[in-house]
A and B are shown apart, each in its own frame.
Chain A
Amino acid sequence: EVQLVESGGGLVKPGGSLRLSCAASGFNFNKEWMSWVRQAPGKGLEWVGRIKSNSDGETTDYAAPVRGRFTISRDDSKDTLFLQMSSLKVEDTAVYYCTRDLFCISTTCYSHNWYDPWGQGTQVTVSS
């Protein structure tokens, strides 16, 4: 079964740091691009950033609100994705989801991706 399980969320003070993890199983993690998406309380979905596969240089991209404060990384030996968050702000309070960037169904591939599957999410609360 293809599965993603996030961990590491919690309560942190403004200006603090937190590292989220996402354990992947059921697919070839090292070949896939991965992303983080967050959802503030009562709000919609917001893309946080992505990391490409090792064969594509592990290049990262970030949304403007988190660029320079958040870092996405991966450990392919452990099938795990990370989100290092620093200089946290109250507005970073959200449920954080990890998800896979899917480009192919069976043998048909596209130039653009969609997100599947998603983890169950982990809550991050930034408050004094």
Chain B
Amino acid sequence: DIQMTQSPSSLSASVGDRVTITCRASQSIDNFVNWYQQKSGKAPKILIYAASSLQGGVPVRFSGGGFGTDFTLTISSLQPEDFATYYCQQSYSIPRTFGQGTRVEIK
């Protein structure tokens, strides 16, 4: 199984901050990484697919990058509604696997 390791597990940031979350795959997975946002008590929501493609309706302050084993999710200017948990997920092979999540909290 491909392991997806996110860092950090949690972070505290202020509104307006630039935030970057990293995700490392245990083997090369090309650009087969997706990113999701999950708010407390709600279902996950797709943000980024294929490592860097922004899902329709998602604010442009969200961006993704990377290829192979190392990937990033960046929020260019953190907004109050962005406080949530973020997950990476690989779609390179079965079983699909998710990172453990990164909780973004208000400083």
Tally of B interface residues using CB under 8 Å: 25
Q: Which residues of B contact A61 (CB under 8 A)?
A: 94-95
Q: Are A116 and B95 in contact (CB under 8 A)?
A: no
Contact yes or no, A45 B43, CB < 8 A: no
A44-B100, A119-B43 known; A114+B34 contact, CB < 8 A: yes
Are B87 and A64 in contact (CB-based, < 8 A)? no
Q: Which of A37, A50, A102, A112 has the most CB of B within 10 A?
A: A112
Interface size class of A (residues with CB under 8 A): 20 to 34
Q: Does A47 contact B (CB under 8 A)?
A: yes
Contact of A112 among B45, B50, B87, B97 (CB under 8 A): B50
- Alpha-carbon distance A93/B13, docked complex (angstroms): 32
In the complex, the number of residue pairs spanning A and B with C-beta atoms less than 8 Å apart equals 59
CB distance from A123 to the nearest CB of B (A): 11
A92 to B69, CA, bound (A): 30
Q: Within the assembled complex, what's the spacing in Å between the Cα atoms of A61 and B32? A: 19
The complex places the Cα of A116 from the Cα of B98 at a distance, in Å, of: 15
Interface residue? A27 (CB, 8 A): no
B 32-90 contacts with A by CB, 8 A: 32, 34, 36, 38, 43-46, 49-50, 53, 55-56, 87, 89
Q: Does B91 contact A64, Cβ atoms closer than 8 Å?
A: no
Q: Within residues 30 to 55 of chain A, which ones have a CB less than 8 A from any CB in chain B?
A: 35, 37, 44-47, 50
B-side residues, CB < 8 A to A, are 32, 34, 36, 38, 43-46, 49-50, 53, 55-56, 87, 89, 91-92, 94-101
